[in-house]
Amino acid sequence: KNEVEQSPQNLTAQEGEFITINCSYSVGISALHWLQQHPGGGIVSLFMLSSGKKKHGRLIATINIQEKHSSLHITASHPRDSAVYICAVSGGSNYKLTFGKGTLLTVNP
């Protein structure tokens, strides 16, 4: 079983819809990261959070430490939001991130 599980693997939405991507992890963490990767593109850090909730524009990330679960929400989705969204966790003394396999989001106009 992977230490970081994302769902769904693939998600198709219509422009304007509210999107939720989920991430569950099984290890103790210092922080959880949400990353975005456009097709053929680089990887950009969207959020890093260790508790509560963070908001940036139409994107909202929440984390529940007790339940070892995080969600990434996109409000009023737009075709330019189409990308792979990757959840990753950091913690412990090994200095590295553990990644989920990503969620491919396609937003149709």
Q: Catalog residues that contact other proteins under the rule CB under 8 A.
A: 30-31, 33, 35, 41-45, 48, 50, 86, 88, 90-92, 95-97, 99-102
Comparison of 93 and 109: residue with beta carbon closer to other proteins: 93
Considering beta carbons, is residue 19 or 100 the nearer one to other proteins?
100
Q: Identify which of residues 17 and 99 has a Cβ nearer to other proteins in the complex.
A: 99
Whole-angstrom Cα distance, residue 68 to residue 17? 26
Smallest separation, CB 91 to other proteins (Å): 6
Nearest approach in angstroms of CB 109 to other proteins is: 26
